[in-house]
Amino acid sequence: MPELPEVETIVHDLRRTIIDETVEGVDVFWEGAIAVPSAQRFSTELLGRRIRDAERRGKFIILRLEPGDLLVHLRMTGQLLVTPNDHAPQPRHLRVALRLREKTLLFSDMRKFGRMYLVPDANQVLGNLGPEPLDPGFGVDEFQARLNGHRRSIKALLLDQRVLAGLGNIYADEALHAAGIAPQRQACTLDQREVTMLHGAIRDQLQRAIHNRGTTFSDYRDTAGNKGEHHEYLQVYGRAGSACLRCGSTLLRVRICGRSSFYCPICQK
DNA sequence: AACCTCACCTGCGGGC
DNA sequence: TGCCCGCAGGTGAGGT
């Protein structure tokens, strides 16, 4: 479900709501949600820890604790919800609840793909994630260097989190359309002008989606349970059979590296 | 290195 | 109405 803009929105909200709170109780309703350590140790070790800060890296949510880090990856359908401590209705697919002093942080996840990681240092989970596309230091040259020598499709590379951290299927398709590049193009065939266009398009798409608090197709919600508003601004994703908003031809859906890709066969070369 | 399929899960919408 | 199929925003493993 959530890609970089959705995770960024969630982290932004967490910073406003749960910083300086302390974990006073842990309820694990589905043990598979805890990737590391065991669900048992997760519950006991988390007790009493203060939440210092919230950050995003790629699609990971990082809660900086005292001590250690709690990472959350929402995968397809995960949600982090902040609710008051009174008996608000529980989400249907609640997997983990962290009780804080005045609030409760709920991890809900219909498809059970999402995971939480309690570790001494976030880097042991983040491993070899690629650069942050919105980092001011992420320039065209580095992007170019990361695409060099790859004969895979540009779409496959954009989805590879080791190449670039945070893009998913929606924003990869949107950025490729904005840059006028077909998703099945081999990465190594992009010329410098195209790489520059794509670099700019990725950052522009992500920034605008963050501004609109993310895209809700079906499951994404922010920490208050609200939908994102970026859906109505999408140009290609989910629009196969409809007219390209730039040139009017019919948008297509194809399968690339096992995923649906939406694109315009005329204005994406 | 790169590609494929499968697996992890639940739910929804379309076709019959 | 109900069943079966395909599909879903992510990723990792294991095979070729």
Q: What is the pLDDT of residues A105-162, one digit of tens each?
A: 999 999 999 999 999 999 999 988 999 999 999 999 999 999 988 889 999 999 999 9
Can you give the pLDDT at residue A228? 95
A84 strand-pairing partners: A103
* Whether the bond into A37 is cis, omega within 30 of 0: yes
pLDDT (average), residues A256-269: 93
Instruction: For residue A257, give the nucleotide whose C1' atom is nearest its CA.
Output: B3
Can you give the pLDDT at residue A13? 97
- Cα R_g (chain A), whole angstroms: 20
Measuring alpha carbon to C1', the residue closest to nucleotide B2 is: A152
Can you give the pLDDT at residue A87? 73
Strand B bases within 7 angstroms of protein beta carbons: 1-6, 8-11
Instruction: For residue A111, give the nucleotide whose C1' atom is nearest its CA.
Output: B9
pLDDT in tens, A171-215: 999 999 999 999 999 999 999 999 999 999 999 999 999 999 999
Alpha helices (runs of H) in chain A, residue ranges in sequence order: 4-17, 39-46, 123-126, 140-147, 154-159, 169-179, 192-211
Closest CA to A124 of A35, A41, A51: A35
Residues in chain A: 269
Can you give the pLDDT at residue A127? 84
Cβ-count burial A10-34 (b if 16+ within 10 Å, e if not):
bbbbbeebbeebebeebebeeeebb
pLDDT beyond 80 at A54: yes
CA distance A259 to A49: 40
A195 Cβ contact partners less than 8 Å away, ≥ 6 residues apart: A140, A143, A144, A147
Alpha helices (runs of H) in A92-191, residue ranges in sequence order: 123-126, 140-147, 154-159, 169-179
Strand B within 7 A of A258 CB:
yes
Residue A113 CA and nucleotide B8 C1' are separated, in Å, by 7
Can you give the pLDDT at residue A100? 96
Strand B within 7 A of A39 CB:
no
